Structure 1
């Protein structure tokens, strides 16, 4: 859909002092956004949003399974006041984060939020935060109201959220198609930021990439890619999940899915299938029940960034261990009970299961079980469902935090743990920290995740630390070192604790 209109003078707001619809000239054409208010009563009181700006041609037709192609220039002014199409399709039902699906073909777009939509000279712009959404690499949307950058704008940070192809279209192995198409989407979106962000008041030499869940895995993946190093300058990974799919596994999954579809594992073969049919096949092949979660912990995700010998030459930890990205500051961490919701209702069925057998079924090595139970005595006392949730959380998320931190060696790294228990669930579940990071506790659908009285003081602390990191490369607590294990524990009150991840360490043996 072409939203461009003949170029005209910008509208003027009610008080007549400033344009209500600011315009910015990008490399491909002019875009028109809109002003909104920030919240919190400090800093800049207004934020300009430019939504759904295409950074690539629509990935349809001959481009569906191709590398992304930069968006061709357009004439006139592109109205950028509504979110663009999303790669996520259909109604996802009730999800932890409100992430709407928006129909349309032009799914490769960016949303820019800025307090100062004016071109800046090199080195004079504001620092930039680029957000990559999560969703297991097969779902999620950059159009979430929780990802609105207005309060980062309030605190002097230009914010960008980006879209990318999901699931098989983005990550699936196809015999004659470019590998890691979604990773290439990330790279082209970051190239767009480098080329255009100064026009929105940002500094391309101060770009921090951040994301949560699969988005956290995305920014860690990018940190380990040599070809990506010029595109960003710092990384903030929230509950990151790496895929690092091995070549044989990626190919086997692609061939099996093609066989189930009754097509050749080629671009021509896949192009004969409707989008709906591919999604149906993908969903059937990637169902995540309790046993599947354990399989993922053991073998990794079937769809996600894959080791292809080109972009991902080795696993991300191995790449970081070799020194890639060592010049870039990194913050990473996880919540205490990311996936406890997956087991919370199983207490009755687990009642007669011995703890040793439970740990065995969840993949805890026999040699580590006694030490793990001792280190998690507080969780054990809450029942076997909570214990099972903690094991899954540790294996999928929290072990990864420690392994990435260790792989970084002496590179500048800060570790945190989010421990504040939700007022609704009673524990710190997956996604709970996102509205604290964005300082949007006044946003929609917060209560079903955090309860009715989420502490604004904690949001102030977490958001301020994120701003400090984006602005100055230091979130404000001691670096994580092999000897000290310094860790910030986000809670009420927050604290610093060198033993914050001690309960996870038996799984590292």
Structure 2
């Protein structure tokens, strides 16, 4: 701790003490690694987060806090995610155009970003989450960390469930209590996230105890956890057996986090055959869920996101939802020649899709190669079909939907995570070239980033609301690109699922 100040290193006062940030070349100020909770280690490891106690002097907030990567999905992530060692992992990063405390009614709108990573990986320290462009446009931006993997989302009979959700809620309480000191308005908070972060947003949208902490929501390629309690209990039992410890708090506390992460890998990341037909058959277990994530415990997470929507929870919050066209198709499109040996309809049948549905699905994308069709099917199951269902369940609630279809010059598809640097308008980051190619269209970033700014600031991204019949969906592509029907194949799966549910039968396809 130090006490001196300078124009280049402004100081802000939080409820726990003063923090020093860094003024950057563009005039924005970054306050990095501010702890909102005590380190979740030792006796706190599997407990609810404990608010950070006070400190003396001025806390240096000029470098990101600890974000050690909890591997598995981190090994294949598109987004650059630095691994920073340390124990104090529950932090916020605040990017602001003006760190002066906001006077009554004068605060700027606030965007709170929850990172993705399948609930087992990811980092708020990614350069793709830098808030400088939002600051330029008058938005204070906060990125938050939370406990990952079993530490955050594993079920234990004698410990609080959904510790990662409790981390999000405590971080939002920190924002409520402190953001005015950074020029933000606690009455104009939008939560946002991508992938598991987008799923986190949908969970918070329907968790009763979180509703007073934000005012709008943005879900980008959102995958909610919605892990059934019995599934969470079964995973705990398998992990305990694998580790040779009791399935209790004491048993898991006796295992180092590194050892537990390796056990998670064993349980959650499958291997298997590589020939095309065997790979396709292996997809029959796809159901749109992840193995770890928010648990439907009936207490904090009272029910699934969809059940919460049916009950009307979150209907008072404007919601912006988006997805990319090919999301998880990269595995297939990277082996197009291999999958060409199987006809598209046959490929879907191998994946567990009944023939009539397979034919209807393939008809939405005539002439596409098998790997593209199969990849889009997985993307629809995991991400896109549920967007169409959410629209119907939200009914008249204010909801906007967009479809990101611009194809990377590197992968040839509109893949998972490709839209994030456009949202944050950070196309100058070197890793964007690695993922998107050397000429990612700035005008597209201007449109997408501008839409998010408008939504955070005014409550509308700039196009008509999407109706429950999925009309009014905005398509994001390069200027002059041929028109694309948004969510065409996802609509087929959504309709099939509705029909199956109406008939009160269990669908034979993982839609």
Secondary structure in 2 matching 1:505: helix
Give the Cα separation in 2 of the matches to 1:350 and 1:67: 47
What corresponds to 1:234 in structure 2?
A: 216
Secondary structure in 2 matching 1:314: coil
C-alpha deviation, 1:127, in angstroms: 0.2
What corresponds to 1:41 in structure 2?
A: none
Q: Of the candidates 338, 344, 356, which is equivalent to residue 367 of structure 1?
A: 356
Contact 2:344–2:369 (Cα < 8 Å) also in 1: no
What corresponds to 2:286 in structure 1?
A: 297
What corresponds to 1:477 in structure 2?
A: 463
Structure 1, residues 73-124: CA drift from partner, whole Å, max 9, x if none?
0000000000000152479557311111100000000000001101113432
Contact 2:393–2:468 (Cα < 8 Å) also in 1: no
Secondary structure in 2 matching 1:131: strand
Q: Of the candidates 28, 38, 45, which is equivalent to residue 57 of structure 1?
A: 38
Give the Cα separation in 1 of the matches to 2:24 and 2:281: 44
C-alpha deviation, 1:497, in angstroms: 8.2
Q: Indicate the RMSD between aligned Cα atoms, in angstroms.
A: 1.9
Give the Cα separation in 1 of the matches to 2:452 and 2:354: 36
Q: 1:454 to 1:213 in 2, by over 3 A?
A: same
What corresponds to 1:398 in structure 2?
A: 384
What corresponds to 2:365 in structure 1?
A: 376
Contact 2:192–2:198 (Cα < 8 Å) also in 1: yes
Secondary structure in 2 matching 1:52: strand
What corresponds to 1:287 in structure 2?
A: 269
Give the Cα separation in 2 of the matches to 1:270 and 1:293: 31
Secondary structure in 2 matching 1:446: helix
Equivalent positions of 1:106-145 (< 5 A) are 106-145=88-127
Q: 1:97 to 1:296 in 2, by over 3 A?
A: farther
Q: Of the candidates 185, 190, 194, which is equivalent to residue 212 of structure 1?
A: 194
Equivalent positions of 1:407-486 (< 5 A) are 407-483=393-469, 485-486=471-472
What corresponds to 2:55 in structure 1?
A: 74
Contact 1:489–1:495 (Cα < 8 Å) also in 2: no
Secondary structure in 1 matching 2:334: helix
Q: 1:199 to 1:487 in 2, by over 3 A?
A: same
Equivalent positions of 1:305-316 (< 5 A) are 305-316=294-305
Is 1:22 paired with 2:10? yes
Give the Cα separation in 1 of the matches to 2:157 and 2:428: 47
Secondary structure in 1 matching 2:402: strand
TM-score normalised by the chain length of structure 2: 0.92
Secondary structure in 1 matching 2:296: coil
Give the Cα separation in 1 of the matches to 2:30 and 2:264: 34
More displaced, 116-125 or 103-112? 116-125
Is 1:261 paired with 2:243? yes
Secondary structure in 2 matching 1:66: coil
Q: 1:293 to 1:34 in 2, by over 3 A?
A: farther
Secondary structure in 2 matching 1:136: coil
Give the Cα separation in 2 of the matches to 1:167 and 1:292: 28
- Give unpaired runs (5+ residues) of structure 1: 12-18, 39-45
C-alpha deviation, 1:243, in angstroms: 1.6
Q: Of the candidates 61, 65, 71, which is equivalent to residue 84 of structure 1?
A: 65
Q: Of the candidates 253, 256, 280, which is equivalent to residue 271 of structure 1?
A: 253
What corresponds to 1:493 in structure 2?
A: 479
Give the Cα separation in 2 of the matches to 1:256 and 1:455: 47
Q: 1:72 to 1:319 in 2, by over 3 A?
A: same
Is 1:37 paired with 2:57? no
C-alpha deviation, 1:430, in angstroms: 0.8
C-alpha deviation, 1:150, in angstroms: 0.7
What corresponds to 1:14 in structure 2?
A: none
Secondary structure in 2 matching 1:390: helix
Contact 1:137–1:303 (Cα < 8 Å) also in 2: yes
Contact 2:49–2:170 (Cα < 8 Å) also in 1: yes
TM-score normalised by the chain length of structure 1: 0.92
Q: 1:162 to 1:119 in 2, by over 3 A?
A: same
What corresponds to 1:318 in structure 2?
A: 307
Contact 2:223–2:383 (Cα < 8 Å) also in 1: yes
Contact 1:339–1:392 (Cα < 8 Å) also in 2: yes
Structure 1, residues 175-219: CA drift from partner, whole Å, max 9, x if none?
211000000000000000000000100000000000000000000
Q: 1:292 to 1:461 in 2, by over 3 A?
A: farther
Q: 1:494 to 1:402 in 2, by over 3 A?
A: farther
Q: Of the candidates 58, 65, 79, which is equivalent to residue 97 of structure 1?
A: 79
Give the Cα separation in 2 of the matches to 1:425 and 1:314: 38
Give the Cα separation in 2 of the matches to 1:500 and 1:179: 38
Give the Cα separation in 2 of the matches to 1:158 and 1:194: 13
Give the Cα separation in 1 of the matches to 2:236 and 2:349: 31
C-alpha deviation, 1:502, in angstroms: 2.5
Contact 1:85–1:103 (Cα < 8 Å) also in 2: yes
Structure 1, residues 28-66: CA drift from partner, whole Å, max 9, x if none?
00000001134xxxxxxx110000000000000000000
C-alpha deviation, 1:356, in angstroms: 3.0
